[in-house]
Structure 1
Amino acid sequence: MSRILSRRDLDFLLYEWLDVEALTSRERFADHSRETFDAFLDLSARIAERDFAPHNRQADLAEPTFDGERVTIIPEVAAALKVFNESGLLSAGLDAEVGGMQLPHVVARACFLWFQAANIATSSYPMLSIGNASLLLAHGTEEQIETYAKPVLEGRFTGTMCLSEPQAGSSLSDVTTRAVAQDDGSYRVTGSKMWISGGDHELSETIVHLVLARVAGAPPGVKSLSLFIVPKHHVAADGTVGERNGVALAGLNHKMGYRGTTNAVLSFDDATGYLVGQEGHGLAYMFHMMNEARIGVGSGAVALGYTGYLHALDYARERLQGRPVAAKDPTAPPVPIIEHPDVRRMLLASKSYVEGGLALVLHAAKLLDEPSAENDLLLDVLTPIVKAWPSQWCRLANDHAIQIHGGYGYTREYPVEQFYRDNRLNSIHEGTDGIQGLDLLGRKVVMRDGAGLTLLLDRIRATAAAAPPDLGKPVLNAADRIAATTAKLWAGGDPTVALANSTAYLDAAGHLVIAWMWLSQHAATEGKEGDFYEGKRLAARYFVTHELPRVGPLLDLLDTRDTLLADLNPRVL
């Protein structure tokens, strides 16, 4: 069995739980069947195993370098991306009219998980490119789509998103990059952008940067930001890549993980840019890519946690050490460490995190395949949880994997230490956990008079009501408490009070949602026998009985409307 991902689990989630075959009754997916879905999954697993996984460690040890003129990356990265691009997976989920295969989002997400688990750094380039092209398909002109989006989807170009700046970080209201309109309809863009993943390399003919900037004369604040296409090179109308644009690499950032992905400081010096949509609507457009990227980051966190769990599981089954606590004979042969209860604890906890997180990611993806007012609203509420919960808890599975390996886990002899380092970044990528907490409690659960939260809790309660009482009742109680706590936090209408502990709220809501995922999976195993299904039922029971109780103390804190963190004097820290 692969130590990258579990195909058996994917099959269960896709076919037995989410019933993705039913999507083929929709016109958009009419040309597909389980056979085509399986073919894409098989292809993804094969390329991930053969072309992505083998250089994962090498790219970590020999990270990209910049000599002042060019970026150098190990050749295996370009070779793997060439195979990926030629496979058709780059545009598989997009419309046929732009060269896509109209694969359901949920299947495309399952396919891409193989690459994220095999090599998160190399897979970052296509992840960003897909999001970049999707934004342009949604908001760009026909000319922009032809000139920039389609070459990205063909694998000729790659794409980025350029939001953060050295002095501003995540505070986009402080963006200072300026754009000055020209007589020919273009703009001249000047400024600096920081932390740009995939920001410079020689892996493609050029790089399509999507840059947030403020048009000269626009007022401060995020509502006056505009979005611009600023290519690394000028691109002619016939698609020919020409001279370098005014985009320079000022330097590479060297991170603790994702070391195979270039991370750039970019300098835009009177660079030629092209407005996407209307002036002043840039952040709204950018959220198209940001929300897709947030789900992608959550997916990557699941993938890294999952492969760490599988490596730890294999190691625990093979590593001989110690004897059962009741064994009295010191000459008895040692047993596999999976026989020790504390190792089983870490493995079961990890299983509950990564399989629960995988279910959440695929559930969110399927909401995109069944668009409706309700599903769109539900996805809005779930997105910060999809991004943040796996970034924290699937990373804990990586932590457990190191612990299970013992001293070996802390060495480079085994890959689990790299999985942890890689996964640590996901709590920062595309908005920190703190930002996701503010988004969830400050926006998503109160928008439209709480309609999104009501919808989410209604769906959770419906699943819990149908579950065995010993599993369903704790989830029902937690749902009721979340509703009551949310109302109490906002009762005074003071955002400082309501949001003082928003990260605690995010943790509580996330655990409730994962408990929902587990009850739903538990229901899908009803009447089915075998170790796999018993494992699902055991993990569901573990999460409800061992993990869900974490919600209580978090909600106790929130119910006090405590403002210690908001009120404290920073000088005492």
Structure 2
Amino acid sequence: MSTLRPTLEFLLYDWLHAESLTERERFADHSRETFGAVMDICERIAREKYAPFNRLVDTEEPRFDGERVILPRATHEAHAAYVGSGMLGAAQDYELGGMQLPYTIEAAAGTFFATASVSIGGGLLTIGNANLLMAHGTPLQREVFARNEFSGRFSGTMCLSEPQAGSSLSDIATRALPDGPDFEADPLGPRYRLRGNKMWISAGEHELAENIVHLVLAKIPGPDGKPVPGTRGISLFVVPKKLVDTEGRLTGERNDIALAGLNHKLGWRGTTNTLLNFGEGSFPVRGGAGAIGYLVGRPGEGLRCMFHMMNEARIGIGMAATSLGLAGYQASLEYAKNRPQGRPVGPAGKDPAQPQVRIIEHADVKRMLLAQKSYCEGALALLLYCARLVDEQHTGTPEAADEARLLLEVLTPVAKSWPSEFCLEANSLAIQVHGGYGYTRDFPVEQYWRDNRLNMIHEGTHGIQAADLLGRKVVMEGGKGLALLAARINATIERAIQQPQLAEHANALGQALQKVGAATKAAWATANAAEALANAVPYMQAFGHLVIAWTWLDVLLALPAQVERPAEEGRVRAARYFFHYELPRIPAWLRVVETRDPTCATMPEDAF
């Protein structure tokens, strides 16, 4: 984490001007000094309670003793310290016990925890769960469940996937039936009985908090008494592990939610990942069959409500992927500075009597380090930009808020998927820099790679994000969001082209923007979704590279005209690497998009 703090401060203050948020009424009690104090606390907790135990939680996985899930003591202490920091409610109103911090600062501070140990984790799901209830829950649901999540007394999950359905939510089989004739009279919301199985539930069972609040998607009967097919029949329910009264106090009754098993994953091994059975009679409750749940929002609008949490989680996963990439970069940079091996290219290097040089002096090692830096710091800038858009959406003028909404619609698939792919590649390069040592558990980089590999699947696979980007986001509202993003990119190009040292980058970015625009039109030229989306992933890769190149160019505009400090030189060089080595990849990705290449879509199954 040695260079993380200065990088964050440059991006927050020199580039995004986060201190200007204090001019808004909601953040008027804050200053750059209070933001710094929050960062100090988070950095210290991450350094003392997270980083030293990252390997421990990887090797001592959660285990179930038949009654409870056992986690290392270090996890309990780290969680307690995180809760004590107040970060679960950092962005919430003072009346809720929050700090009314800008989300931009909350997101930046969260990188300390994810860089130190993403496997121990922070409050991603709990915060997202509570935020969803604040947006769609009843006043009492907000008071009983969300408030207790923000305080750390309760934790939260999201329960979407099922063993037979995976990401295909229209095929979920979990059912919810009204709990008696008075089901609508329950003060906590219309009361239902749920039966079904949910898979891949992170933090689905533990004893880190008094209670676990599950947000569960399930289908309710239609007017004919039968489940409504597709996603129209999906509703959302808040299903607590332990039942509570209207004051949020535990009643002493266990809800009918049973741990069916722990999933043992490649990475994120310190986080419990579960298969949960709802309403199968393991803990019969209140004389009825099924787990008790309370409807959130309107019947049939569960998926719309859940997207509030899913989109927030997607940005969080992008930040987790970025943080893991940064951790690997720092580890490999330190190793390269100290590992002697080989001699310089040329006549002097042929003399075996000459001492070996450190591997950072080799051009190819510098290439791998520059690639990592350009990927990870570029991704960090993009994620903080998205966080800044969230603040704009909530506290900006009506026009600025609507623009922020549109930009977030287009950028969210990229903010989740691009770091998940290319910061993972950064972790792979970190292993390569270490050579054979990188493949061993004597060094941390192999764990960073394993932890990061999950993020291409977390919160919607790569293919889902690509289909969302090309199939929905760039064409929604008549392409308004894409046009707005293009206008922002062109504004950066116009500013940069006035500076001789940036003109080459500006011209290259302009050409890339034209190619992405043309490819978008070509993909939809036949208005055939199957043809357009057959190459959605290459489109997303090209689109992501365009966005990261734009981000880097905009970051360079925040540097002084005369670069003097090493950190400034490092940003200039990393951006140059991205423009010279990465941006030229865009035409190759877009070629199959423009031609609606059918190679993959028409491959016969038996030809495999």
Query: TM range, normalised to the smaller chain?
Result: over 0.9
| Match in the other structure for 1:178 | 175
| Match in the other structure for 2:265 | 255
SS of 2:260's partner is strand
In structure 1, distance between residues paired with 2:141 and 2:110: 26
SS of 2:350's partner is coil
| Match in the other structure for 1:142 | 139
Amino acid at match of 1:184: F
| Match in the other structure for 1:339 | 361
| Match in the other structure for 1:498 | 532
| Match in the other structure for 1:465 | 494
- Correspondences of 1:120-199 after superposition (within 5 Å): 120-124=118-122, 126-182=123-179, 183-185=182-184, 186-199=191-204
In structure 1, distance between residues paired with 2:457 and 2:152: 28
SS of 1:466's partner is helix
TM-align CA RMSD: 1.0
| Match in the other structure for 1:225 | 234
In structure 1, distance between residues paired with 2:568 and 2:243: 56
| Match in the other structure for 1:419 | 448
| Match in the other structure for 1:281 | 301
- Correspondences of 1:15-414 after superposition (within 5 Å): 15-124=13-122, 126-182=123-179, 183-185=182-184, 186-216=191-221, 217-241=226-250, 242-269=252-279, 270-326=290-346, 327-371=349-393, 372-414=401-443
5+ residue gaps in structure 1? none
The answer to whether the 8 Å contact 2:522/2:595 transfers is: no
In structure 2, distance between residues paired with 1:571 and 1:9: 51
In structure 1, distance between residues paired with 2:604 and 2:100: 54
In structure 1, distance between residues paired with 2:272 and 2:130: 19
SS of 1:122's partner is coil
In structure 2, distance between residues paired with 1:223 and 1:109: 33
| Match in the other structure for 2:604 | 569
| Match in the other structure for 2:284 | none
Aligned-pair distance for 1:199? 0.6
1:269-311 alpha-carbon deviations (Å, 9 max, x no partner): 1000000011001001000000000000000000000010001
Aligned-pair distance for 1:450? 0.7
1:436-477 alpha-carbon deviations (Å, 9 max, x no partner): 000000000000111111111111121122222211111101
The answer to whether the 8 Å contact 1:78/1:203 transfers is: yes
- Aligned match for 1:478, one of 488, 509, 512: 512
Amino acid at match of 1:137: M
1:377-428 alpha-carbon deviations (Å, 9 max, x no partner): 0011000000000000011111111111111110000111000000000000
The answer to whether the 8 Å contact 2:417/2:456 transfers is: yes
Amino acid at match of 2:337: R
- Aligned match for 2:553, one of 493, 511, 519: 519
In structure 1, distance between residues paired with 2:598 and 2:66: 49
5+ residue gaps in structure 2? 185-190, 280-289, 394-400, 497-501
SS of 1:320's partner is coil
In structure 1, distance between residues paired with 2:142 and 2:591: 51
Aligned-pair distance for 1:190? 0.4
1:560 aligns with 2:589: no
SS of 1:321's partner is coil
The answer to whether the 8 Å contact 1:408/1:414 transfers is: yes
1:68-97 alpha-carbon deviations (Å, 9 max, x no partner): 321111111111111111111111112222
1:175-203 alpha-carbon deviations (Å, 9 max, x no partner): 11000012233100000000000011111
The answer to whether the 8 Å contact 1:465/1:476 transfers is: no
SS of 2:307's partner is helix
Aligned residues, how many? 570
Amino acid at match of 1:557: V
Aligned-pair distance for 1:555? 1.1
In structure 2, distance between residues paired with 1:499 and 1:184: 44
Aligned-pair distance for 1:238? 2.7
Amino acid at match of 1:310: Q
Aligned-pair distance for 1:375? 1.1
Amino acid at match of 2:244: V
Aligned-pair distance for 1:239? 2.1
Using structure 1 for the length normalisation, give the TM-score: 0.98
1:429 aligns with 2:429: no
In structure 1, distance between residues paired with 2:104 and 2:237: 30
In structure 1, distance between residues paired with 2:382 and 2:471: 22
In structure 2, distance between residues paired with 1:466 and 1:184: 61
SS of 2:120's partner is helix
In structure 2, distance between residues paired with 1:394 and 1:288: 25
1:545 aligns with 2:580: yes
The answer to whether the 8 Å contact 1:177/1:213 transfers is: yes
The answer to whether the 8 Å contact 1:465/1:473 transfers is: no
